[in-house]
Amino acid sequence: MWKKVSQRIKDVVGANTYKAYFSSTSIKPAVESEKELLLVCPSTTLYNLLKKGGHIKTIERCVEEVISSKVVVSFQVDPTAFTKDSHTQQETIPFSSIKKGEKKRKQIIQTSPFFSYYTFDNFVQGPSNETAVATSLAISKNPGIHYNPLCIYGETGLGKTHIIHAIGQYIKKILGKKVCYFDSQNFMDNYISSISTKRVQQFREEILEYDVLLIDDIQFFSKKEATQNELFFIFNKFHNEGKQIILTSDKYPSEINDMDDRLKSRFSMGVTTEIRNPEYEMRIAIIQKKISLLNIELSTELIEYIAKHIRRNVREIEGALKTLKISGEMVGKNIIDKPFAVKILKNMIKEKIYIGMDNILQMVSTYLKVRPQLILGKGRPTQVVRARQIAIYLSRQLTTNTYENIGAFFGGRSHSTIISSIKKVNELMLENKNIAKIVKKLSDDLNKLSE
């Protein structure tokens, strides 16, 4: 494997650079397999020269070209591999060079704790979050390899914190790596404390000893200029060393107000993925998952009632279920039914005006300036098709209608056409920021009708 890769490197960098950095006196393969290429060099100094010169990136590109993108490249400093008589202890360097502290000293940073409940197994996956979940799982298995940084954004209460905890716990427990997790307030508290005690450098060094950095709710760094400058420094060090960074926000990074443009640019340089409001079937699945974990039994009628009336926030669903559990235990109810729940949740769930497909059709028609009869018709002009797809998508998101009912309303369209339209809008929202804004605006305006 290395013989083929090294020949490709020679073609790319030229004979002189190859002789200086890539000859057998500089780099040797220690492990060559379908999944891993472990390379050995004789000193940390040489390793740092390779890294600073961009040569490690060259190796990774050539491995991807010649062998496969699935092969993970890592380095190990081992002088004994180059001198037969030396018994110097080897120093392993996964992903990047490891900064060694001069002395053992008391740690000053206090990272945020993980919640053991927040795992991938306990997270309900559906159309509104499947891209975020898939990307998060890929990163958990291979941190720092492909998607760096990862930024997950979406409205409050949709599962961003759950996912970032799931990633962190997987990497820590399964891969055995050092994971540094902060919620935004804790990061700021730690930084301010380091300033007041004149230990900012130690604050930085301690964070940089970790393999993975996770920060929840970065929007709260808005207007915090000193904190932003510190994060900019730490972000660059992590990213330059190939260490994984994972962030969450309540909005798309570039839309965070009063945030340094340099940070916004860096937040968006990897993968940015959205978690949207769950559709009706997914809300049903979420309720079923949570009542199983809470060990309570709800009637089918009640599950459907909660899914219909709490539409936008998973956290509110969980709050309602916990309230029902406590209330049921107090009166000795084994199975909680709808009449009992309606009384208990009357202040949480207020009967709302039902959003119908006619409301959705009219609002999409007005906003996108496409007549209703064209949306319901068979015409295929791009603007009409897009309006029709968005109206179908919103009908699925905001109502409890089946695919068949939606198809019947929108001009007798088939089950497969409705599914295709919903899938298309999901894809467009990921690819086109403007489409995502339009759909969110329409969704918000329609929800206001029912308030």
Q: What is the CATH number of the domain that holds 320?
A: 1.10.8.60
CB of 438 closer than 8 Å to CB of 367: yes
User: Helices then strands (H, E): number in the chain?
Assistant: 20, 11
Q: Are residues 162 and 247 in the same domain?
A: yes
Q: Are residues 141 and 261 in the same domain?
A: yes
Q: Are residues 182 and 287 in the same domain?
A: no
CATH number of the domain at 412, please. Answer: 1.10.1750.10
In a domain, residue 173? The reply is yes
CATH number of the domain at 41, please. Answer: 3.30.300.180
In a domain, residue 416? The reply is yes
Query: Lowest-pLDDT range, 194-203, 259-268, 277-286, 394-403?
Result: 394-403
In a domain, residue 115? The reply is no
Integer Cα distance of 447 and 451 in angstroms? 7
Domain end, chosen from 312, 344, 376, is at: 344
**Which pLDDT band holds residue 8 (cuts at 50, 70, 90)?**
confident
Q: Are residues 182 and 137 in the same domain?
A: yes
Closest C-alpha among 86, 74, 1 to residue 41 = 74
CB of 365 closer than 8 Å to CB of 390: no
Tokens in use for 51?
């890294």
Give the pLDDT confidence score for residue 81 in this predicted structure.
Answer: 62
User: Do the bridges between strand 36-41 and strand 72-77 make them parallel or antiparallel, or are there none, so unpaired?
Assistant: parallel
- Average pLDDT score over the chain: 85
pLDDT tens-place string over residues 339-362: 999 888 887 776 555 678 998 999
Maximum CA pair distance of the chain? 86
CATH number of the domain at 256, please. Answer: 3.40.50.300
In a domain, residue 379? The reply is yes
Ordered DSSP codes for 268-334: TSSEEEE-----HHHHHHHHHHHHHHHT-EE-HHHHHHHHHH--S-HHHHHHHHHHHHHHHHHHT-S
* Cβ within 8 Å of residue 428, ≥6 positions away: 435, 436
Q: Are residues 321 and 244 in the same domain?
A: no
Q: Are residues 413 and 338 in the same domain?
A: no
Q: Are residues 337 and 400 in the same domain?
A: no
Q: Are residues 226 and 138 in the same domain?
A: yes
Q: Are residues 291 and 212 in the same domain?
A: no
Q: Are residues 175 and 259 in the same domain?
A: yes
pLDDT tens-place string over residues 182-208: 999 999 999 998 888 888 889 999 999
- Which domain range does residue 221 map to? 130-274
Residue 178 has pLDDT above 90, yes or no: yes
Q: Are residues 218 and 149 in the same domain?
A: yes
Angle of helix 280-294 relative to helix 314-331, nearest 10 degrees?
Answer: 40
In a domain, residue 186? The reply is yes
Give the pLDDT confidence score for residue 448 in this predicted structure.
Answer: 76
How far apart, in Å, are the Cα atoms of 238 and each of 171, 233, 243, 339? 16, 9, 5, 55
Closest C-alpha among 271, 34, 37, 61 to residue 151 = 271
**Which pLDDT band holds residue 101 (cuts at 50, 70, 90)?**
very low
Residue 383 has pLDDT above 60, yes or no: yes
Q: Are residues 314 and 229 in the same domain?
A: no
Domain end, chosen from 38, 69, 93, is at: 93
In a domain, residue 176? The reply is yes
- How many domains does the chain divide into? 4
In a domain, residue 350? The reply is no
CB of 364 closer than 8 Å to CB of 387: yes
Give the pLDDT confidence score for residue 96 in this predicted structure.
Answer: 38
Domain end, chosen from 274, 297, 317, is at: 274
In a domain, residue 380? The reply is yes
